[in-house]
């Protein structure tokens, strides 16, 4: 009766599940159909508004027009505007003006709102000399939406409608938004001003004539000079231009008094040269020095006035104006001495002047800064050695623990349900029985094996036979063969260490029951040596002779086996934990089988 009730309950649950699944599918179909209809409604509304709506129809069917607007959202409205723009119509559906597609640049320059910056010019002592005005023009990305309307009025009407539309489309909202659209502003504008005014009624934009504004540029002093006008003297440098190396160089020159005297002589020589040039050229008295150093230029396009003044020229002009007055007060002997010195320098050739200049420059002794040498602190080798040993020990512990966990995981994957059944039956479960084969099957297997002999009972000295690799060969068999062949060298060393024979051949049926995959087949040398010991312990569980000799119940493990584990650096506790996990799984499998047997009876 209990079984009948459980079957009825399962049938009822399956029926309810099927009903819920069908209801869910029907609801999904209804939702898809509803979304399709709403998308179709939006599409038809866009197509209807893509054509120009007359004023009479708008006044008669204003409520229908509102209902159509409820079907649209912001993106749908812009799609309608784009469709009208492609038809060369104004983007607003009430307007029938034509729109011309213009090839305009992506960016525009704002010449109305200009940003004016005044830049100052300073001399070496940070005194104000002059300044000039710099105008920066702002660059904006061109608005392409306004090009889709015939004018600013239609664009504002469209923006007023967009501000009242929903953001989400109709198929997401699921129904009409149902809110009242206020067209008072649009209709008031419509009755006051016609949407399509004639050209005579259109307001004429007043054009403002651009007033030409002068732009002043000041030409800098000419760099090219005559070689005869050049004199050897020290140049005055600003505080900003002097670096630390220059200060070290100039510290090794003459004393401060000699420098001041040479600087005064160079100024007097320059003033004399300028005075002689002015006397020869006979300048007009009405012209000023500042008028010769500036040039004006009109610029009608930019409307910007700039002025650039050279600080060096202005300083020179001031010095030229001051020095002749001081020269008038000097004695005639000083004048004759200053006049003779330029003449002597003018008589020198180019090579002599260069030699004189090199001789003066060679007196400067450049001091090279030596790098600062910082002595390294002595290393405490013992301390660093201890730290290195401690770090290595911690790393070795972590690596060993990780290796143990990896090996435990691999062995746990090997022992599947087939292996547990094999160990539960103590190896009596036959995987391959020759007696069950017919004569034809045995002959066919011998034919596939070729010259090699088949494994069987009662055949001494015969190894395992691997069938030829043909197309669609079983991967499980291939993995078994790969694992068995990789463990053979480890089996030989294991048999030699614990003094046992023919373990590899007897472990082959047990290995055939392993659950192998592409991740747990390939083992390194250390893992293979531990895997051999693990398989040998499982093999001893099926063979009482091996179990009594190497793993007695009340005694310790055999000394040769314990020494083998010590050689491969595997603690006995880790090995016992591996075996205990397998034995616990065998016990749980036996309890599950007993429970199933009791339920059946």
pLDDT at 6: 80
* Average pLDDT for 305-312: 38
CA 280 – CA 275 distance, rounded (Å): 9
CA 73 – CA 83 distance, rounded (Å): 15
Q: Are β-strands 213-217 and 295-299 bridged in parallel, bridged antiparallel, or unpaired?
A: antiparallel
Contacts of 137 (CB under 8 A, 6+ apart): 109, 110, 111, 114, 115
- Inter-residue contact 450 to 492 (CB < 8 Å): no
CA 486 – CA 135 distance, rounded (Å): 83
CA 46 – CA 78 distance, rounded (Å): 10
Structural domains in the chain, CATH included, are: 23-192 (1.25.40), 390-429+469-600 (no CATH)
Residue 544: which pLDDT band, with cuts at 50, 70 and 90? confident
- Greater pLDDT, 159 or 369: 159
Number of residues assigned to the chain: 601
Residue reference for tokens 């002592």:
125
Residue 116, burial from CB neighbour count under 10 angstroms (0-12, 13-18, 19+): exposed
- The structure tokens listed for 403 are 């290796």
- Greater pLDDT, 498 or 216: 498
- Inter-residue contact 93 to 52 (CB < 8 Å): yes
How do residues 220-249 score in pLDDT, each as one tens digit? Answer: 344 444 555 555 544 444 444 444 444 444
Residue 403, burial from CB neighbour count under 10 angstroms (0-12, 13-18, 19+): middle
How do residues 550-591 score in pLDDT, each as one tens digit? Answer: 888 776 888 888 888 888 888 888 888 888 888 888 888 888
pLDDT at 199: 39
Confidence (pTM): 0.33
- The structure tokens listed for 182 are 């206020």
CA 494 – CA 484 distance, rounded (Å): 14
List of E strands, 160-300: 213-217, 295-299
- The structure tokens listed for 220 are 């800098």
Closest CA to 539 of 427, 449, 452: 427
Instruction: Average the pLDDT over each of 6-15, 19-28, 78-87, 279-288 and give the range with the smallest value.
Output: 279-288
* Coil vs helix vs strand at 181: coil
Among the ranges 136-145, 193-202, 292-301, which has the highest mean pLDDT value? 136-145
pLDDT at 434: 47
Contacts of 87 (CB under 8 A, 6+ apart): 50
The kind and range of the H/E element at 507 are none
pLDDT at 79: 92
Residue 177 has pLDDT above 80, yes or no: no
* Coil vs helix vs strand at 558: coil
Contacts of 359 (CB under 8 A, 6+ apart): none
The share of the chain scoring above pLDDT 90, in percent, equals: 2
Residue 534 has pLDDT above 60, yes or no: yes
How do residues 415-452 score in pLDDT, each as one tens digit? Answer: 888 888 888 887 765 544 444 456 676 777 777 666 55
* Coil vs helix vs strand at 311: helix
pLDDT at 329: 42
- Inter-residue contact 186 to 177 (CB < 8 Å): no
pLDDT at 351: 79
pLDDT at 210: 42
pLDDT at 415: 87
How do residues 179-207 score in pLDDT, each as one tens digit? Answer: 555 555 454 444 433 344 433 334 444 44
List of E strands, 301-441: none
- Inter-residue contact 258 to 307 (CB < 8 Å): no
* Average pLDDT for 498-527: 85
How far lies 18's CA from each of 21, 24, 482, in Å? 5, 10, 48
Residue 22 has pLDDT above 60, yes or no: yes
- Greater pLDDT, 195 or 509: 509
Residue 107 has pLDDT above 80, yes or no: no
Residue 386 has pLDDT above 80, yes or no: no
């Amino acid at each position: 009766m209990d079984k009948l009730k459980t079957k009825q309950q399962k049938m009822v649950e399956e029926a309810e599940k099927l009903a819920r699944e069908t209801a869910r599918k029907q609801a999904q179909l209804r939702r898809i159909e509803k979304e399709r209809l709403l998308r179709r409604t939006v599409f038809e509304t866009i197509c209807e508004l893509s054509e120009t709506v007359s004023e009479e129809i708008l006044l008669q069917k204003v409520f229908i027009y509102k209902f159509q607007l409820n079907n649209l959202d912001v993106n749908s409205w812009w799609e309608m505007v784009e469709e009208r723009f492609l038809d060369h119509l104004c983007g607003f559906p009430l307007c029938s003006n034509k729109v011309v597609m213009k090839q305009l640049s992506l960016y525009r320059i704002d010449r109305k709102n200009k940003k004016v910056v005044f830049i100052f010019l300073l001399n070496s002592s940070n005194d104000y000399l002059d300044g000039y005005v710099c105008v920066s023009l702002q660059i904006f990305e061109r608005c392409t939406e306004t090009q889709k309307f015939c004018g600013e009025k239609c664009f504002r009407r469209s923006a007023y409608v967009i501000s009242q539309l929903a953001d989400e489309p109709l198929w997401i909202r699921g129904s009409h938004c149902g809110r009242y659209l206020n067209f008072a502003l649009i209709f008031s504008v419509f009755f006051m001003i016609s949407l399509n005014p004639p050209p005579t009624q259109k307001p004429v934009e007043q054009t403002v004539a651009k007033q030409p504004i002068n732009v002043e540029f000041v030409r800098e002093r000419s760099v090219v000079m005559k070689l005869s006008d050049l004199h050897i003297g020290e140049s005055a440098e600003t505080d900003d231009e002097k670096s630390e190396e220059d200060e070290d160089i100039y510290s090794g020159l003459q004393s401060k008094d000699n420098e001041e005297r040479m600087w005064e002589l160079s100024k007097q020589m320059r003033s004399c040269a300028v005075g002689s040039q002015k006397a020869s050229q006979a300048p007009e008295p009405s012209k000023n020095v500042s008028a010769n150093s500036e040039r004006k230029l009109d610029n009608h396009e930019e409307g910007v006035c700039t002025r650039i003044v050279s600080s060096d020229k202005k300083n020179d002009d001031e010095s030229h104006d001051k020095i002749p007055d001081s020269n008038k007060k000097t004695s005639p002997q000083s004048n004759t001495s200053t006049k003779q010195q330029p003449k002597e320098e003018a008589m020198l050739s180019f090579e002599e002047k260069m030699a004189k200049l090199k001789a003066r420059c060679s007196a400067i002794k450049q001091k090279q800064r030596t790098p600062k040498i910082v002595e390294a602190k002595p290393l405490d080798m013992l301390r660093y050695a201890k730290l290195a040993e401690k770090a290595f020990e911690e790393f070795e512990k972590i690596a060993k623990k990780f290796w143990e966990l990896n090996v435990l995981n691999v062995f746990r994957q090997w022992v599947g349900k087939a292996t547990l059944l094999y160990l539960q039956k103590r190896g009596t479960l036959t995987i391959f029985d020759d007696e069950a084969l017919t004569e034809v099957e045995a002959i066919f297997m011998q034919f596939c094996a070729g010259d090699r002999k088949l494994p069987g009972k009662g055949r001494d000295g015969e190894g395992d036979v691997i069938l030829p690799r043909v197309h669609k060969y079983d991967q499980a068999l291939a993995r078994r063969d790969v694992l068995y062949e990789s463990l053979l060298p480890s089996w030989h060393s294991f048999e030699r260490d614990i003094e046992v024979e023919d373990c590899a051949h007897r472990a082959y049926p047990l290995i055939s029951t392993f659950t192998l995959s592409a991740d747990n087949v390939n083992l390194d040398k250390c893992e293979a040596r531990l895997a051999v010991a693990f398989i040998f312990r499982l093999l001893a569980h099926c063979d009482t002779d091996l179990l009594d000799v190497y793993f007695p119940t009340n005694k310790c493990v055999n000394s040769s086996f314990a020494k083998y584990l010590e050689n491969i650096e595997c603690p006995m506790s880790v090995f016992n934990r591996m075996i205990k996990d397998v034995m616990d799984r065998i016990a749980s499998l036996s309890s599950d089988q007993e429970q199933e047997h009791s339920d059946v009876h």
